[in-house]
Amino acid sequence: MATNLKRLVFKNWKSAIIFWLGNHLFMNWMPYTIRHWYLRSFCKMKLGKNSAICMGNFITGKNIEIGDNTVINRFCYLDGRVQLKIGNNVNVAHYTLIQTLTHDPQSPFFVCQEKPVEIQDHAWIGARAIICPGVTIGEGAVVAAGAVVTKNVEPYSIVGGNPAQFIKNRSKDLRYKTRYFPILDTDIQ
């Protein structure tokens, strides 16, 4: 029993150190090449080609998959303790929070609830948006800045507010490929 406990403690500490180094050293001080190598190799993130994880983000959990040509801008929180899947050509603006865990407010034991999040291709998440656990953001959808998304967002729709509500539809003619690699911690490319 003591041996199993020691293994569990060592495993948890090892994982904690990996993410601590990632969040406090690699996410803040390293160029893209080294940052992305660390995220893939040690944090087990699946990161597509020409995707950018900008400086200053906080990442936790080994269940994150990001497609090609996707940008996660500065100061976002990516919760990969449960599956977080972000598609191709997705833009996630500054200070966005994406959560995959919550607690049951009715539980006398504050039970943890695990709910995966998916953000599909060509979605655009505005600055300071909050994506709650269990949400799917449909293909081509736009989440306005500051929106709190508690329910699924239909493809090619624009939502905003708290809680996020439908505003209007977005054009389905989306041909762009996102490529955003600002130099250091600037918006200069």
Using CA atoms, how far apart are residues 143 and 153, in angstroms rounded to an integer?
8
Neighbours of 33 (CB within 10 A): 8
Using CA atoms, how far apart are residues 22 and 170, in angstroms rounded to an integer?
36
Catalytic site positions: 103
What is the chain's length? 189
Report how far apart the first and last C-alpha atoms of the chain are (Å, whole number).
55
- 100 with 118: CB under 8 angstroms? no
- The dihedrals phi and psi of 174, each to the nearest 5 degrees, come to -110, 115
Q: What is the DSSP track for 112-172?
A: EEE--EEE-TT-EE-TT-EE-TT-EEPTT-EE-TT-EE-S-B-TTEEEETTTTEEEEE--S
- 107 with 125: CB under 8 angstroms? no
